[in-house]
Structure 1
Amino acid sequence: MNHPRLLPVLALGLNALVWGLSWWPLRQLHADGLHPLWTTACVFTTAWIGITLWRPSAWQGFQHHPELWWLLVASGLTNVGFNWAVTTGDVVRVVLLFYLMPTWSLLLAWWLLGERPTAAALARMVLALGGVVLVLKTPDAPWPVVESLADVLALLAGLCFALTNVLLLRLQHTPESSRMVAMFGGGALMALLCAAAAQSTGILPVVVWHVAAWWPWVLLLTLAFLIGNLVLQYGAARLSAHTTSMVMLAEVVFASVSSVSLGASTLTWQVALGGGLIVLAALLASQAHNPHNGGSPLPSEPTL
């Protein structure tokens, strides 16, 4: 690999590392009494304020491009679902179910962009769904069914992220700063709304705020996500879409190795085989992307 390509690849690898290890500080905060909904709200509100101060004109894009509000909602729900799921569920299982997103992207692009799937694309979808069946099937359940809130959140987060990817394609003519503020603002707003609703209905207990104990972790996550976003923008702008997608799949490796090593996940042969099929489908989807044929690239990370 020549030097001009090495730096972008390392940048994307750093972004994958950030998201592959994000479950750990999220769980540390959860153990200290801060639910991932409130953590997401704190982190993304801090980042959103920073971006707004840096680019105060970014919000003007919403006046000319109202579809940015849909991007705000889809991106925000992606972060809410992923962070909640990876904090409370089996990390490997959550990440693999989240990576069903290429299948969602295929269906949404068919519906919203009019991109009819090819036979090869449908075959990749069947391959991914076969992997999901293996991941969902547990020894205690006779059928491969969703059996926890974390499973539901992971699948919904993948769906919302696929929608985010499709919306980004539709909004590629809008200012980049407006898309960024929409996505970080969405993480802040959706997390705040979901946390307030969950707490008012008794799903979440009343928070006893321990700011002194929490702020180092919140600051760490905020900086990590901002750095991850910056290096993603750097790397994705200098590499092809399929190369970006393949490098970003390293998140599965980082999340799996770290969570299994620290006892946050159990890796059985069935989950490993199912995960392999899902990752293989994602790799094939990234290889099949051609920027000249109108195909949708495989999305990268929740805070793209």
Structure 2
Amino acid sequence: MINLNPRSIGLLCLVVTSVGWGLNWPAMKFLLKEWPPLFARGTSGLCAAALIAIVAVKAGQSLAVPHHLRGRLALAAFLNIFAWMGFSTLSMRWLNAGQGALLVYTMPVWATLMAWPFLGKRPTMSSIGGLVLCLSGIALLFAGANSGIRLDQAVGVMFALGAASLFAFGTIVLKPLPIPPLTSVTWQLLIGCLPMMLFGVVAEHPDLHALSGKGFAVMVYMTLVPMGVCYVTWFAALQRLPPALASIATLLTPVVGVLAAAVSLGEPLGIKEVLAMTLTLAGVTLALHTSRT
């Protein structure tokens, strides 16, 4: 039997998170053809919250949250769920899946910058080098698309960068809550997704009958993997790894997203995209290697 140390478990959790979230980008883009963004994402999140709550109870974890932690829990739900998922989903009304994933995953830039004033962690030359490689890959990957950012896509860009900066802020300033992880994920999904779903019902006027068999399969995937398994593994990684390292490692997500979008949606994938992904993976490798303590 293999014995894994906390750091190895954290890195494994990051791989699961990055792949699951990456595959969700083309899945969500497909679903937007049938259901509006906030209603679809909010409904999926509420279903995931119910399933995780059942798992938590079965595992013997209490769903009770101490009164003094409820304010922090609500703030975490806003930053980690409502802003991150809601804004990133809205961005895809104007951006394709690859563009959205690349812009949202500038999150490590904001996390690295925020770690200095908020945590007093001055970035090392090695971490800066890894970050530069990652961002160079993202820039080249974006430039390799057939169409760049147009003026009519500005709203989508703002939503994507808003999701990135707010999620980074939460990653840096919010320490893991001292409650069981499944309890934390359950309540964050509930608090963050309920307003999304309600706003979707009122403002987006979804047609429930528009969901096809493929759309239903996408909803099941979103519920079980990105919103269920991946949020559990993300918070588990944060309990075992430094926030900056966890943030940089999630740059694997846009690589997965671009590849999956190319295969499933026919989005661009050429020499520039492959070179860009190579740079991104090299940056992630450098960041992971030089962050060992």
Q: Given the two structures, how large is their TM-score scaled by the length of structure 2?
A: 0.72
Report the counterpart of residue 108 of structure 2 in structure 1: 102
Contact 2:111-2:168 at 8 Å conserved across structures: yes
Report the counterpart of residue 117 of structure 1 in structure 2: 123
Give the letter aligned to residue 188 of structure 2: M
Separation of aligned partners in 2, 1:273 and 1:175? 41
Separation of aligned partners in 1, 2:132 and 2:26? 32
Task: Report how far residue 280 of structure 1 moved.
Answer: 3.8
SS at match of 2:256: helix
Task: Report how far residue 123 of structure 1 moved.
Answer: 4.6
Separation of aligned partners in 1, 2:39 and 2:262? 26
Would the alpha carbon gap of residues 23 and 124 (structure 1) be closer, same or farther in structure 2, given more than 3 Å must change? closer
Contact 1:96-1:275 at 8 Å conserved across structures: no
What is the aligned counterpart of 1:17 among 16, 19, 22? 19
Separation of aligned partners in 1, 2:270 and 2:96? 12
Would the alpha carbon gap of residues 238 and 260 (structure 1) be closer, same or farther in structure 2, given more than 3 Å must change? same
Q: Would you say 1:60 and 2:65 are equivalent positions?
A: yes
SS at match of 1:34: coil
Separation of aligned partners in 1, 2:165 and 2:140? 19
* Number of aligned residues: 280
Q: Given the two structures, how large is their TM-score scaled by the length of structure 1?
A: 0.69
Q: Would you say 1:89 and 2:90 are equivalent positions?
A: no
Task: Report how far residue 266 of structure 1 moved.
Answer: 1.0
Report the counterpart of residue 80 of structure 2 in structure 1: 75
The unaligned stretches of length 5 or more in structure 2 are none
Task: Report how far residue 109 of structure 1 moved.
Answer: 1.6
Q: State the percentage of identical aligned residues.
A: 19
Separation of aligned partners in 1, 2:230 and 2:289? 24
Task: Report how far residue 39 of structure 1 moved.
Answer: 0.9
What is the aligned counterpart of 1:151 among 151, 157, 162? 157
Separation of aligned partners in 2, 1:86 and 1:215? 19
Task: Report how far residue 22 of structure 1 moved.
Answer: 1.6
Report the counterpart of residue 268 of structure 2 in structure 1: 266
SS at match of 1:22: helix
Separation of aligned partners in 2, 1:28 and 1:191? 19
1:1-304 map, 5 Å:
3-4=2-3, 13-31=15-33, 33-52=34-53, 54=56, 57-61=62-66, 63-64=68-69, 66-76=71-81, 77-85=83-91, 89-137=95-143, 147-168=153-174, 170-189=175-194, 191-192=196-197, 195=200, 199=203, 204=204, 206-210=205-209, 213=212, 215-224=216-225, 225-230=227-232, 236=237, 250-290=252-292
Would the alpha carbon gap of residues 41 and 111 (structure 1) be closer, same or farther in structure 2, given more than 3 Å must change? same
The answer to which of 72-81 and 272-281 deviates more is 272-281
Task: Report how far residue 44 of structure 1 moved.
Answer: 0.7
The unaligned stretches of length 5 or more in structure 1 are 292-304
SS at match of 2:32: helix
